[in-house]
Amino acid sequence: MIEVQGLTKRYGQRTAIDQLTFHAQKGEIVGFLGPNGAGKTTTMRILTGYMPPSEGAGRVAGFDLLTESLEVRKRVGYLPENVPLYPEMTVIQYLDFVAELRQIAGRQDRVDEVMELVRIDHRAESYIGNLSKGLRQRVGLAQALLHKPEVLIMDEPMDGFDPQEQMEVKKLIRQIGKEQTVMLSTHILAHAQELCDRVIIINGGRIVAEDTPERLSAQIAGGGRIQVLVDGDGAGLAEALRALPGVTHVRALSESRFEVETAPGTDGRAKIAQTVVNGGWPLLELHRDKATLEQVFIELTREDQAEAGDAAAKEG
Amino acid sequence: MRNTWTMAKREFAHYFVSPAAYVVAFVYLVILGIIFNINLNSSIFFGGPPQVVQWVFGPFVTLMLFLSPGITMRVLAEEQRTGTMELLLTAPLREWELVLGKWLAAFAFTAVIVFLSGLYFLITNAFTSPGLDRGAILAAYVGFLLMCAAFLAIGVFTSSLFASQIAAFFATMGVSIVLWLVGALFQNQTGAWADVINYIDLSSHYYNNFFSGVIDLADMVYFLSATALFLFLTTRVVESRRWR
C-alpha cells in the first residue's frame, strides 16, 4: 500500500531525508519515530503528494507518487501536524467544503457519519476558532477520514488530546488500521508501542531501525538490564559483578548504584544477588528493567547523532 | 472546473464573514459617495450636463489602486501562513483550479462593490432629461471590470509570493501603480521602447477609450491577457512549492 525506494529530499544544500526505503501493508499500523528534525514531516509530505522527492520513487495506494500524484491524493487521508483549519467556518461548513473538494457522493450523510465517528457531532455548528485544541484535532482527523482513504497518514495525531481523548483516538486508529494502511509519526513512544504493528525509527534523515516494538526492545536490551543498589560505598562491586558469567557490561551509575547488562536470554539476578550479599555489600534493591521503546530510541538516535553530526536535518 | 467552483464559493463566502472585506467595501463607497456629492453640487452651481461617468469612474479607478490589494492580499498568503495550503495541495486539486477559484471569488466580490455604484447612475438618471447616455455608462463599466480583473490577478499573484499579508498588500499596490504610471515616463517619445512601454501602461488602456464610452477590442485583449498572465504566473509559483 505504501512502498518507497531511495526517497531523498534536499532543500538546497541541506538533505532532509536520505535514501529512505520502506513499505507498509494493508491492515498495518506503522509508526514513524524520530527526534524533531529527523525528517518525519518531510517524508509524510512526500507520501501525501504535497511535494515530490528530489530522488527516489514510490507507490502509494497503487499509484506512482511522481506521475500519478492526483490519483494518490484521491486515496490518501492526511492529518498534518498543524491541523489545517479555517477558524471562521463552522465544523460542518468546513467538513462540507473538504467533502466537496474531494467530490464525495452523498456528501451530507458522509459528513454526519464522520462527525459521529470522531465524536464532534455535538459541536457541528460551532465555529472552529472557538474549539479547544482537542476538538480541533478531531476536526482535522474527520477531514482526513471523509473520503474513506485507503492510506491514512497522520503527523503527530495525538498532539492536543487529553488522556481520555487519547484513549478514544487510539481505539479509533486501531479500528481503522485493521482494514486500511495507517502511518503515523509520534515522539511519544508509549503511543507507538501501544498502537503500532511496526516501528520505523529515523534520525538525521536516515532509517536507523525498523521492527516490531517488542523485537526492537528485545534487540537493544537483550536479556535486560539489572539495577543494583547497595547501602554506602560499593567499591569493588563492579569488578566482582563483571567477573560473573553471562554479564556483558557493568556500569556504575553512582557510587552505590550499578547497572548490569546480561547476555540475551539469561537471567542473572540470582547470581548477582548472591555475589553482592556474599561480598558483604548491604543489598538494598535489585530489579530488572525491561527495555522500553524509549531506551531503544535514545540509544539509536544518540549513536547515530554522533555519526551524522551536523548533517541532521533541521526541519521536522 | 468543479474544484474551481468549490474554491470560489468558499472564498466568496469568506469575504462576507471577514471584517477586512467589509471595511474595504465601506471605505470605497463612502469616499465615492463624498466625491460624487461634491461633483453633483458644483455641477448644479455652475450648470452644465452631469458627467456621471467621469464623476464615478474617475475616483473609482484611483481608489482601486489602493483597494484591490486589500481585497486580494489574504487569498494565498493566509493559506500559506496558517498551513491550510497543505490541506489544499494534498487534496485532488490542481494548482490552476485553486488559483482560478481564488481569483474568481475576488472578482465576484469586487463586482458586487462596483455594481453598488450603479445607484449613482440610477439616481442621476431619474433627475435628468433626456437621461444619461447608456452606451457610455456600459462601456465604462465593462472597461472598469476588465481593469479590476487585471488588478486582482496582480494581487493574487503577489499574495502567492508572500506568507505575510502586509507584504502582499504593498507589493500589489507597487506593481499596480508602476503599471499605471509607466507610460508617463515615455509620454512624448517615440521608438520601439516607448511603444512597448506605452502598450504595457495600464491607464492608457482605460482612459483613452472605455472612459469616453468606446469599447475597443485591443484594450479588452490587453486586460484579459494581463489577467491571464498573472494567473498563470501565480499557478507556477504555487507549483514551485512542490519542486523547491
Are A72 and A63 in contact, with CB atoms under 8 Å apart? yes
User: What is the nearest CA distance from B157 to chain A, expressed in angstroms?
Assistant: 20
Amino acid B118: pLDDT: 86
Q: B90, A73: Cβ pair inside 8 Å?
A: yes
pLDDT at position B187: 76
pLDDT of residue A303: 56
Q: Greater confidence, A168 or A300?
A: A168
- pLDDT at residue A73 in the model: 94
Cβ contact A153:A77 at 8 Å:
yes
**What is the distance of C-alpha A254 from the center of its chain?**
32
- Dig out the grid coordinates for A216 from the structure: 526492537
Asked if residues B5 and A100 have their Cβ atoms less than 8 Å apart, the reply is no
Contact A279, A240 (CB under 8 A): yes
Chain A residue with CA closest to B82: the answer is A84
Q: Which of residues 39-98 of A touch B (CB under 8 A)?
A: 45, 48-52, 70, 73-74, 76, 78, 80, 82-86, 88, 97-98
Q: Which residues of B touch A11 (CB under 8 A)?
A: 244
pLDDT per residue as tens digits for the range A115-154: 999 999 999 999 999 999 999 999 999 999 999 999 999 9
Taking CB atoms and an 8 Å limit, are B2 and A78 in contact across chains? no
pLDDT of B27 over the 90 cut: no
B6 touches chain A (CB under 8 A): yes
Average pLDDT, chain B: 88
Q: List the single best residue of B7, B17, B90 to mutate versus A (max A Cβ within 10 A).
A: B90
Q: Which of A50, A82, A83 shows the shortest C-beta gap to B90?
A: A50
- At residue A292, the pLDDT reads 64
Question: What's the rounded Cα separation, in Å, for the pair A50 and A56?
Answer: 15
Report the gap between the CA of B89 and the closest CA in chain A (Å): 6
Distance between the two ends of chain B, CA-based, in angstroms? 27
Q: pLDDT (tens digit, 9 = 90+) per residue, A35-92? A: 888 889 999 999 999 999 999 999 999 999 989 999 999 999 999 999 999 999 999 9
Partner-chain residue, chosen from B85, B86, B242, that has the shortest CB–CB distance to A52 = B242
C-alpha B213, offset from chain centre:
19
Q: Give me B53's grid cell.
A: 461617468
Given this model, what pLDDT does residue A137 score?
Answer: 93
CA dihedral sign of residues A84, A86, A91, A93: negative
Share of chain B above pLDDT 70, in %: 99
Q: Cell numbers of B90, please? A: 494534498
> Which comes out higher in pLDDT, residue B155 or B180?
B155
Considering only CB atoms, B92 lies closest to which of A73, A83, A84, namely A73
pLDDT digits (tens, 9 = 90+) for B203-243: 888 888 888 778 888 889 999 999 999 999 999 999 987 76
Q: What is the structure's pLDDT at A220?
A: 56
Cis before residue A53, ω within 30 degrees of 0? Answer: no
Residue whose cell numbers read 466568496: B12
More confident: B193 or A267: B193
Of the candidates B2, B7, B91, which has its C-beta nearest A73's C-beta?
B91
- CB of B163 within 8 Å of a chain A CB? The answer is no
Q: Check whether B130 has a pLDDT greater than 50.
A: yes
pLDDT of res. A141: 94
Which pLDDT score is estimated for A265?
63
Residue in A11, A101, A155 to test binding to B, most B beta-carbons within 10 Å: A101
Predicted local confidence at residue A291, as pLDDT: 60
Residues of A within 8 A of B15 (CB-CB) are none
Answer whether residue B21 shows pLDDT above 90.
no
What's the pLDDT tens digit per position in B56-75? 888 888 888 988 999 999 99
Nearest chain B residue to A104 by CA: give it. Answer: B92
Q: Which helix (H) or strand (E) holds B225?
A: helix B217-243
Map grid coordinates 500589489 to a residue: B172
What own/partner pairs with CB < 8 Å and gap ≥ 24 does B20-28 have?
B20/B70, B20/B74, B21/B71, B21/B109, B23/B70, B24/B67, B24/B70, B24/B71, B24/B113, B25/B112, B25/B113, B25/B116, B27/B67, B28/B63, B28/B67, B28/B113
Type and span of the H or E element at B52 = helix B52-72
In terms of DSSP H, where are the helices of B73-201?
Answer: 77-82, 84-89, 95-116, 118-127, 134-161, 165-185, 192-200
Question: How far does the CA of residue B120 sit from the closest CA of chain A (Å)?
Answer: 34
A80 contacts in chain B (CB < 8 Å): 83, 86-87, 90
Burial class from Cβ neighbours inside 10 Å (0-12, 13-18, 19+) for residue A138 reads buried
Q: Sketch out chain A's domains with CATH numbers.
A: 2-218 (3.40.50.300), 223-289 (3.30.70.100)
Q: Which whole number is the average pLDDT over B135-140? A: 87
Q: pTM value?
A: 0.82
* In the block, residue with C-alpha cell 507556477: B236
CB contact under 8 A, A101 and B88: yes
> Is the pLDDT assigned to residue A306 strictly greater than 60?
no
B68: which residues sit within 8 A by CB, 6+ positions away?
B110, B148, B151, B152, B154, B155, B172, B176
* Chain A residues with beta carbon closer than 8 angstroms to that of B85: 84
**Which B residues in the span 87-106 are in contact with A, Cβ-Cβ below 8 Å?**
87-94
Pairing of strands A181-186, A55-60: unpaired
What single letter denotes the amino acid at residue A104?
I
Percentage above 90 pLDDT, chain A: 48
What is the rounded CA–CA span in Å between residue A175 and residue A278? 54
- Say whether A84 and B84 touch across the interface (CB within 8 A): yes
Helix segments in chain A, DSSP class H: 40-47, 69-75, 91-101, 107-117, 133-145, 163-179, 189-195, 213-221, 237-242, 269-278, 293-308
- Rounded Cα gap, residues B216 and B206, in angstroms: 10
Instruction: Report the share of chain B in percent with pLDDT over 90.
Output: 43
CB contact under 8 A, A143 and B89: no
Do you know the residue count of chain B?
244
Residue A174 has pLDDT above 80, yes or no: yes
Please tell me the distance from the alpha carbon of residue B194 to that of residue B178, in angstroms, as a whole number: 15
Whole-number Å distance between alpha carbons of B173 and A265: 73
* B90 — pLDDT class (breaks 50, 70, 90): very high
Per-residue pLDDT tens over the stretch A204-258: 889 988 888 877 766 655 556 788 899 888 888 888 888 888 888 888 888 888 8
Distance of CA B18 to the CA centre of its chain: 19
Tell me how close the Cα of A19 comes to any Cα of chain B, in angstroms: 18
Choose, out of B6, B14, B87, B242, the residue to mutate when testing the contact with A (most A CBs < 10 Å). Answer: B87
Chain B residues closer than 8 Å to A101 by CB: 3, 6-7, 88, 91-93
